[in-house]
Copies of this chain bind each other. A is one copy, B any other.
Amino acid sequence: MSELSTHSEPHAFDRAMALEPAGQNQYAAQASKDYWNMVGPYGGITAAQVAQAVLQHPQRLGELVAITVNYAGAVGERPYVIEAIPARTNRSTQHWIITLREQDAQGQWSTTTTATAMTALARDTWSDDEYAMPEVPPANAVERYTTDFRVEWLNRYSIRPLLGGYPTEWDGATSPSLTRMWVSDEPPRPLDVPALTSLCDVFFPRIWLRRAKRVPVGTVSLTVYVHASAEQLTAVGTQPVLAQAQGQGFRDGFFDQTAQIWSPQGVLLATSHQLVYYKE
């Protein structure tokens, strides 16, 4: 046996990112049981698969800078097809339209996810993080989060809450929905663009914190802007990142959430905005 055969199992995240080329612009995929949520995969892992389909496309130009994923219908346990179409290629930017389509037991195809993305060649310019990282204790000074809310995907992250933690009393008291926490993949894994995309969805629903009431929810649209350069992601490595989210408006069945992710050195790695359905 060679040395190579003794390497450990691939990380659950890498298994989830293993898309099988299946014809022009198409990839065969399946929802990861390692990242299972209550009735389907964790939204972040689906967004990461969309990012991954673009990133491993042979015609891809540049790095991922913007992605919007719309959760149109339930992703189930069946295999599905990710189609990533380069809709427009410019000299330094490229725009993508991505869909996930799944065949039901009767052979009927339906679209479960729609998305758009933009990639761009890296350029070194004047840069500035206007939204500075809040002053917080280092990750190793903060206790890991434990909760009675058990879903499989939460086992894939190490979360150390700093502010706006998971409610311990569901008493209907109104609170600011601002959450700050240190987060890393569990077990640790070097940060890359798909993992960063996934992290932008790691927060428990803002409405649960705002109302101290656990109502049914589901993200319907997630946008991620990647500010980090390849070098900045490499510099993060397996260190935890600081993740922050807050709701802005809760109205007639939908609320939105803005989010920011910083490296432990204070580099703004990504910003995100999402819209979430809630039921009364």
Q: Which residues of A220-255 are within 8 A (CB) of B?
A: 220-221, 223, 225, 227-229, 246-254
Contacts of A258 in B (CB 8 A): 258, 271, 273
CA distance in complex: A175, B73 (Å)? 44
A225 touching B87, Cβ below 8 Å = no
A125-138 interface bits toward B, Cβ cutoff 8 Å, 1 = contact, 0 = none: 11111110000000
A264-279 interface bits toward B, Cβ cutoff 8 Å, 1 = contact, 0 = none: 0000100101010110
Q: Is A70 interfacial (CB 8 A cutoff)?
A: yes
CA distance in complex: A68, B177 (Å)? 25
B88 touching A73, Cβ below 8 Å = yes
Q: Is A110 interfacial (CB 8 A cutoff)?
A: yes
With both beta carbons as reference points, the residue of chain B lying nearest to A124 in the complex is identified as B252
With both beta carbons as reference points, the residue of chain B lying nearest to A130 in the complex is identified as B247
How close is A54's CB to chain B, nearest CB, in angstroms?
13
How close is A71's CB to chain B, nearest CB, in angstroms?
9
Given contacts A126-B250, A249-B268, 10 further A-B contacts (CB under 8 A): A65-B275, A68-B223, A88-B110, A120-B254, A124-B252, A125-B278, A129-B250, A130-B248, A229-B252, A248-B271
Q: Which 8 A-B pairs have the closest CB atoms?
A: A72-B95, A72-B88, A273-B273, A131-B248, A249-B268, A227-B249, A68-B68, A125-B280
Q: Which positions in A face B, CB cutoff 8 Å? A: 65-66, 68, 70, 72-73, 87-88, 90, 93, 95-97, 99, 110-112, 114-116, 118, 120, 122-131, 174, 176-177, 210-211, 220-221, 223, 225, 227-229, 246-254, 256, 258, 260, 268, 271, 273, 275, 277-278, 280
